[in-house]
Amino acid sequence: MAVAKTITIKPCSPKLKILYEKHRFKILKGGRGSAKSWGIAEALVHFTNTYKTRVLCCREVQKSIKESAKKLIEDTIWRYGLQDSYEIQGASIKHKVTGSEFIFEGLKNDPKKIKSLEGVHIAWVEEAESVSKESWRNLIPTIRAGGSEIWVSFNPRYTTDATWEFIENPRPDTAIETMNFSDNPYFGEELEKERLFDLEQSQKNQDKIYDHIWLGVPMGSEYNTLITPYMIEQSQNRTPFVTQERKIAGLDVSRYGGDFSEFVVRHGNQIIYENSAKGLDTQELSDWAKEQVIISGCEVIVVDSAGSAGVFDILKASLNGVCDVYDFNGAYGADESKYLNQRVETWFKLKSWITDTGKLPQNKKVSQLSTITYFYNNQNKIQLLGKEEMRRKGIHSPDWGDALSMTFYADVKRVVEKTRKRPRRIGFSG
């Protein structure tokens, strides 16, 4: 009869010892680079190699097996030289001697399938910060075999998340450990560079993003303010300077009857022209915007095509030879993968401009900038609180801020660098 190969696991951190103790709930929380998942994978390989253990590895959403922890489990099996002891299949892993099994599922993909699972000894819920209250209600009663356990690993997001309830109101027989980069003896040089960069940025911007990402501190019930009143005040006190940049206008097209269409022109570190209109139809707004281009002398205009593609089409045709016209749709993908979309990316570029060199004007509309808040979504991408949700909270639409943010649209700079030409314009400069 075949005998399982014996291995010795030495947890890289004393905090991982709870995985080898008997507890109904085992919770590992903390920041990036803490080796939580690595330690859990080692413990699971140890148990499945030693006893007959059925393990459910799950997360809130799993669109494919590639999004699961399967690769991490496989790598751990190979690292301990156990590849001949396991049969690695497309969607599962089985131990040839002990009869142990790993299965991989998404909690939200098929709740009925989760409820029908039988004989699970350990359920590992990874990236648990995004797991909904409904998914927890389905999963916990399902893991009911004698002595069964639920292991939870997550980087805390908000104190309002369902998973944070395990921390605020621990269930009976719950062991909790906080693990951060300082608990990981294998924390690499590349991660250390990222950590130090984020620390510097948080200190510069006076935010708590570093604490959230690297120390696992939840962001609380409120969202993070992107541009603080302090940043605005500092920017307003700066001195304007001469620049060789082109004059770039942003046109935010109103989507609702009560909103304004805003036209803002930025030249280097200052706003040189702005105007607004309300209650205009597509043709009227296009004519008005063309007039603003001529009055301001702007050389580039970025038009919010998500508000009305018709305005962009008219301006593209009517301003040919006057200035460059770009269409902007904030919902499209961003250049940098950490941002959800282009709107998020341009607002973060606006923030950098404000904190570095930008001089904001002394007007009431500037206060819109401090109403923009952001958070990390389930894919760990940075997302802004949407306009619809802002309306529900009684926050006015930041139309002026959106127009200014569009002047930082990446495509404008790329074309300038590529062509290095100044387009012909008419009218006078502002």
User: Long-range contacts of range 88-91, CB-CB < 8 Å, 24 or more positions apart?
Assistant: 90/65, 91/65
CA distance 209 to 39: 25
| Nearest in space to 278 (alpha carbons), one of 255, 245, 299 | 255
From the options 3.90.600.10, 3.90.1150.10, 3.30.2350.10, 3.40.50.300, give the CATH code of 14-183: 3.40.50.300
**Strand pairing of 122-125 and 149-154?**
parallel
Main-chain dihedrals φ then ψ at residue 414, nearest 5 degrees: -60, -45
Main-chain dihedrals φ then ψ at residue 65, nearest 5 degrees: -65, -25
End-to-end CA distance of the chain: 88
Per-residue pLDDT of the chain (430 residues), as tens digits, is: 466 778 888 888 999 999 999 999 999 999 999 999 999 999 999 999 999 999 999 998 887 877 789 999 999 999 999 999 999 988 899 999 999 999 999 998 788 888 888 899 999 999 998 898 889 999 999 999 999 999 999 999 877 788 999 998 999 999 999 999 999 999 999 999 999 998 998 888 777 778 888 999 887 644 578 898 888 988 999 988 878 889 999 999 986 556 789 999 999 899 999 999 998 999 999 999 999 999 999 999 999 988 667 999 999 999 998 999 999 999 999 999 999 999 999 999 999 999 989 999 999 899 999 889 888 887 778 999 888 778 766 788 899 999 999 999 977 766 544 443 433 333 323 3
Residue 105 neighbours by CB under 8 Å, 6+ apart: 56, 57, 58, 62, 113, 114, 117
Every domain of the chain and the residues it spans: 14-183, 223-419
CA distance 91 to 100: 14
Count the Cβ atoms, other than its own, within 10 Å of residue 34. 27
Residue 357 neighbours by CB under 8 Å, 6+ apart: 238, 241, 269
CATH architecture of 223-419: 2-Layer Sandwich (3.30)
